[in-house]
Every structure is written in C-alpha cells, then in structure tokens.
Structure 1
Amino acid sequence: MAQFQWLNVSESSGGGALGVIFSVAFFRGLDPAEVVRRFSRGENSGQESDFGGLDDKAYEFVNETDGGDGGGYVGVFKVGEWCVAIEPHGWMVTLHEVVTELSRGCEVLAVTRHDYAAEHSFEYAIDGTVVTGYRLRHPHERYGSDPDRLNGFMQELGMGLDKPEDEAAWDAAWEENYDTAVPRGFALAAKVTGVQFRPDMLDRPMLVGPILEK
C-alpha cells in the first residue's frame, strides 16, 4: 500500500497534495462531461482546466462558505474505462443520498478522507443502490445490498472483517486501522476498478464544474 501513502500525509506534515479533507470517485459508464453534469444537476458540463484551477475554485468556495459545505467543485478526467472525479475539501460524493443519485445507470466507487468532523468512508454503488459501504476505520461494520461483496479483496489487504468480541479486541482493531485506513481504502478501490490513483494524475487536464445540492 506504499503507493497510496501520498493520500495519507498528516496535517502536521503538510497534508499532502490533496490535504486532509477530500474525496475521489471512480465512475464507469459515463464520460467526464456527464459526470460533471451529474454533480451540477444538469446545469454545467465543465470547463477545461487543471488541478491548480480546481483547487483554486474549491479554496475560494471554502473561504466563502466557512468550509461547512465542502469544496463546491469537482474535477473529472478519463482513465481507461473509468472516469476519476476529485472533490478537494469535500465529502459530498460519499453521502448516501448523493452517491445513490450519482450512480443511476452507472457504477460509482468513492473514497473520502476527512480528518475533522466526519469519518473516512467508502461507498460502492451501482444503478442507484449502495452495494457495499463502510467507514474506513471500521471494515468490520459493512452495509449495503451486498455488504460482503468485496470481502475477498478486503482480506487480501489485511483488513479484519469480523466484529471485535471484547474491549481488548476493539482497541486492537482501532489501533490496526487508525493509520492504515485511507491507504487501504484506495488500495481496495484499485482492486475493484483497476485504477491506481497516483499523484501524477493530478497533472492531467480535467473538466471542472460546480457541485450543486438540491
């Protein structure tokens, strides 16, 4: 999982390229413009930009809204048969009511890192239904229409899938998952999608558009 440690840099060490609050989603069955349209509820098909432009827009949005509404923007680019959507400073894509809507007629896998008021999370949805989801530090608490669907991959990554039976086991599970949760979440995403989210992907051109809520 060393290749995903760049997504796990602590705030005291600078937070890394994406900081300590961000989401990354993988879409199969849509092109980048359609992904942007879904985030913007049909209002916007995106403007060509780069990660710097995306991050600037998100930073301005955070300053205007005091950070309580996420980053407000998403950047999308194509990788093979998947689109990758980056949501700096945001967590909207892993909200249940959002990911189910985004996944209608397609497949979406999303991972959120959130070091503050929320928790790191993973959502895998197909055609409007969450198939498997879990909080990244709690792989033993899975949910969805098929919560065990990814168990084989999760076990390959060393995740403990059985619910701890006593306080000592809970403490051990927390210790085991605390620092490894985010890299393991992105490693699991790579196993499902075949896309390894790498730092050089931030150098790619992308379509940038707003995230509009209902």
Structure 2
Amino acid sequence: MTSSDPLAPFRWLHDGDSLLDDIFTVAFFRGLDPSEVVRRFSRGEDHGQESDFVGLMDQATEFSIKTGGGYGGGTVGVLQVGEWSVAIEPIGWMATLHDVLAELSRDCEVLAITRHGYAEDSLGYAIDGTIVTAYHPLHCPHLRYGSEPDRLNGFMRELGMAVDSLDDENDRDDEYDWEDEDERYESDYVSALPNAFALAAKLTQVRFIPEILDRAMLVGPVAYR
C-alpha cells in the first residue's frame, strides 16, 4: 500500500538517531560526475577513493575529533544517481555556505541541504556561480533570497509549503490562538527537513532514502574551512 504522505520517504532525515545523526549536508550536482565533485570539494587536490558509507562516517568522525568539531567532518562521499551526483558531508555544512555553494556550482547546477541540530538548517540552490534561491527550512520558507527567489515556488506549493508572507495571519491579534500556534510550530518543526528533501526530489528526481547509503561512493577531503 502506497503512503499518501509525500514526506514519508524523507522523515528519517529529521531523526537525530538516523544514520546521518544530527549534523549533515547533502548536495545534488547536475552536470558533474562523482570524481569531479570530489575534486571540487578538495579544491583540485583529490579525485576520491572508493569506499562505503561506514568508511565515510569513520573518516568524518576521526577528522571532527582531531579538529575539535569546529570544521565539520572534513570529508565528503559522492555517488551517482541518474544524471545527478549526490554528495554527502557527515557532520558538515560547507556546501550550503553561500561562497562555497557558488564556487561548487561553477558550470553546473547544485541544490544543497544542511541539517544542523545545534544551529539552523539551510537550503541553497545555485547555477553557474549564482545563488538562485535559498532559505532556512524551519522558520522561513516564505523568506527566500537570491537572484530568482521564486524559482522553485511551483514545487513548493505542490508540497503545501508556505511561499507567501505570513504577516496577514499573524496580524490578527484578536483571533490569535497560541495553542494552535504551538501545534503548528511542532508540525512545521517535524516536517521542515523532510519538506526540503521532498523539494529536492521534485527538482532532481532523486529521492534521498536510506538505501542510497548502501552504495559504493568516492570519498575525499573537504578543503573549505
């Protein structure tokens, strides 16, 4: 029986006890193969070594421990899914930093999502060095910025995401129900990250599900700090 919940395939990503823990970034690259993606993350120093997800996590964990955690996991694993390369940064957030995302997207297209359990989740979409649209999935999907902030609005509306200002609703103080607001916040909190990955799937046709982590990948260093 097929679930009617479009977020069901991605709800595992919200769980801090998931395979990726509570800090990670996933970036989808169109137009680059995995070796070239690793080369870009390493700033031309590495084309990657074949490994599996356990090896990727071991390297990222070791790097994080050695550096005190302030530079993320320092490691990326990349695999091919259809016409997209999928890059996984355990314990990392570099691919959604705007200067890094812009550089990674030269001559290609990149959508990157960061889950950060101790800071703020982020989504950024860039094409050939330009941030097209970006936002913070939990609090501000309606506060987008970039050269074309409304570029993905059609997909967002299909997922029931708020793409317009909430000011009109929040200005109705006489009718404001704080209990309803608390319930809505909890619902938004649980759905924010799955919504971001559902949006990525709309654009890329790649569903980032746990089985992807079973595939062989190329693993290399992240040179950005």
CA-based RMSD of the aligned residues comes to 1.6
Give how far 1:169 is off: 9.1
Of residues 30, 33, 36, the one that matches 1:34 is 36
Counterpart of 2:74? 72
Q: Which residue of 1 aligns with 2:11?
A: 5
Give the superposition deviation at 1:157.
0.8
Please say if residues 94 and 224 of structure 2, whose CA atoms lie closer than 8 Å, have aligned partners that are also in contact: no
Does residue 133 (structure 1) correspond to residue 134 (structure 2)? The answer is yes
Q: TM-score normalised to the size of structure 1? A: 0.93
In 2 relative to 1, CA 95–169 (structure 1 residues): closer, same or farther, beyond 3 Å?
Answer: farther
Counterpart of 1:104 in structure 2 is 106
- Cα distance, 1:6 vs. partner? 1.1
| Distance in 2 of aligned mates of 1:56 and 1:160 | 38
Task: Tell me the SS of whatever aligns to 2:60.
Answer: helix
Give unmatched runs, 5+ long, in structure 2. 1-6
The structure number with the bigger radius of gyration is 2
Deviations 1:93-117 (A, max 9, x none): 000010000000000001110010x
Establish whether residue 195 from structure 1 lines up as the match of residue 195 from structure 2. Answer: no
Q: Percent identity?
A: 62
Rounded Cα–Cα distance in structure 2 between residues aligned with 1:169 and 1:133: 30
- Counterpart of 1:151 in structure 2 is 153
Tell me which residue corresponds to 1:23: 25
Q: 1:169, 1:178 → 2: CA distance?
A: 18
Distance 1:5 1:35 in 2: 27
The 3-state SS of whatever aligns with 2:126 is strand
TM-score (norm 2): 0.89
Shift of 1:177: 2.0
Matched residue count: 209
1:184 positional shift? 0.2
